[in-house]
Structure 1
Amino acid sequence: MTVRRAGLLLPLFSVPGNQGIGDLGQKTLRMIDHIAEAGYSIWQILPIQAMGPSHSPYESVSCFAGDPIYINIDRLSEMSLLTQSSIVNCNKFKDFVNYDEVRAFKEVYFRKAFRNFKKF
């Protein structure tokens, strides 16, 4: 007996987010719940390795390292590495992903979270 399954191809960077790019945050988790409720059982994404200068998911600088651009800053707050009140959402990249701006925006938070992590 053949079992049919349905799915969708949706790159992680295309998932709606409030930090300039789709990432591994709460909005993505809610989207996964919605597609499961709709009867889909497969979600195929494009590679999420660290990207090269062209920002193509197929031009990676490493086949082992994930790209930190997909880290959700709110999740760092949930881990007590940042305070929620210090996080400013960045919706100015709404129509398309400006990778350089998103990286610069998130880098400030990553450095602060790492400093706090070292204190533990």
Structure 2
Amino acid sequence: MAQYLAELDGVFAALADPTRRGVIRRLGRSPTTVGDLAREFPMTLPSFMKHVRTLEASGLIRTVKHGRVRTCVLNRDRLAVVDGWLAEERRIWEERTDRLERLVTEPEENRP
């Protein structure tokens, strides 16, 4: 459980930045070279590479080098960590709202 939470924290920390979310959104369409990705964001290449390294460290993307060209690829499986967490939170909140609805709609004498 501790490892799962650490992984979840790493993914959410990586997704906390709008530039990194933009990179994830762009890579959702197709793998792209670092140079092409960097052109879409108003910053220097060294600054952009910090974002790439953060996304890589979190496991959200991987990079593959062919000669002098580095291509970024989205790791869709890693997004499943977020999806699983959101599904569990959704389930918890739906249970809570169901209990609240019963509390509000059932007569008091019918409650346990």
TM-score, scaled relative to structure 1: 0.28
**Structure with greater strand share of residues:** 2
Larger radius of gyration: 2
**Structure with greater helix share of residues:** 2
TM-score, scaled relative to structure 2: 0.29
